[in-house]
Amino acid sequence: VVSQEREQQELKDTLLSLQPMVKEHPEESFLDFVSHYLGAAEALRILKATGYDALQLPIVTAAMAYDIIKKHPETQNCTENAGNEWRYATDGYGQLLVQLQRQAQADGVEFRLEHRLLSVEKSGADHLLAFSHHGEVQMQRARHVILAVPPTAMAGLNLDFPSAWSPFQYDSLPLFKGFLTFEKSWFECMGLTDKMLMSSNPLRKIYFKSDKYLLFYTDSQSALYWRDSVEQGEEIYLERVRRHLEEALPLNGKPLPPIQSHFYKHWPHGVEFYLEPEAKHPAALVHPSGIIA
């Protein structure tokens, strides 16, 4: 991790010094908690330095925030989890997924891709499942149903989620990732290869993947900023990307090299979570009709 402004050590010292007081503020948002000790302006700067806009949300308590910080590779160094080592597959995970699918199929598992579950009805001893597949509705009868879908998808079904399942509450945040390729690996000379740069502007976290490409990864308000930029047209989106990169990078006044190609992805419900991080959550939930999630 490379910090754009003050050093990561300052962030680490601040977070570690405030951590013992978390239990004294069980209901306060993380922003209010840090503001209580450091003032509003300094608190906002500290939260931005983590790279996660979600930490500024009113629903994110101090306890939730520390849980997030210690579980992400970009910020875990600021907590007691500093010794954990993270690795990533440089060529992606596509081949691993293909291998796992073949292994499952050899054991008799059937895959039906691009189906969206619409509803589940109790039908005698069975369950009747309605799926959408390329615009057509297909019905499937099953004796036992185990669902592995995110909370937002559960909420869209006719299964009274979460009240019929769990006493806990759930929410989600949007994500946006932008990928850029260039003709030359110009960031090698800046010492940024395989590094991640923290930025206070809407790019937030900028990753330099070997000599192949650059990507930025944002959540919450920054994710909405980039979604809105894309909706205004590719020209506006790329102009903003260039401007914010030139702000964040040590280019010494030189323009950003031409972008060769790019793609992006916006997830309206990119991160799903429960609102009670301190509670003991079950590994599975069971509906009164016998469905397991």
| 3-state per-residue secondary structure call for 110-139 | CCCCCEEEEEEEEECCEEEEEEEECCEEEE
Q: In whole angstroms, what is the distance from residue 144 CA to residue 153 CA?
A: 19
- Tens digit of each residue's pLDDT (9 = 90 or more) over 89-134: 777 889 999 999 999 999 999 999 999 999 999 999 999 999 999 9
93-169 has which fold?
FAD/NAD(P)-binding domain (3.50.50)
What pLDDT, on a 0 to 100 scale, did the predictor assign at position 5? 54
Residue 190: count of CB within 10 angstroms of its CB? 15
Instruction: Supply φ then ψ for residue 251, to 5 degrees.
Output: -90, -5
Give pTM, 2 decimals.
0.83
> Is the peptide bond prior to 162 cis by the omega test (within 30 degrees of 0)?
yes
Q: In whole angstroms, what is the distance from residue 167 CA to residue 163 CA?
A: 7
Q: Which CATH class is domain 171-274?
A: alpha beta
**What is the domain partition of the chain in residue ranges?**
1-78, 93-169, 171-274
Largest CA distance in the chain: 72
Contact 272, 152 (CB under 8 A): yes
- Tens digit of each residue's pLDDT (9 = 90 or more) over 138-192: 999 999 999 999 999 999 999 999 999 999 989 999 999 999 999 988 888 888 8
What pLDDT, on a 0 to 100 scale, did the predictor assign at position 31? 93
- Tens digit of each residue's pLDDT (9 = 90 or more) over 244-283: 999 989 888 889 999 999 999 999 999 898 887 667 888 8
Which of 53, 77, 68 lies closest to 22, judged by CA? Answer: 68
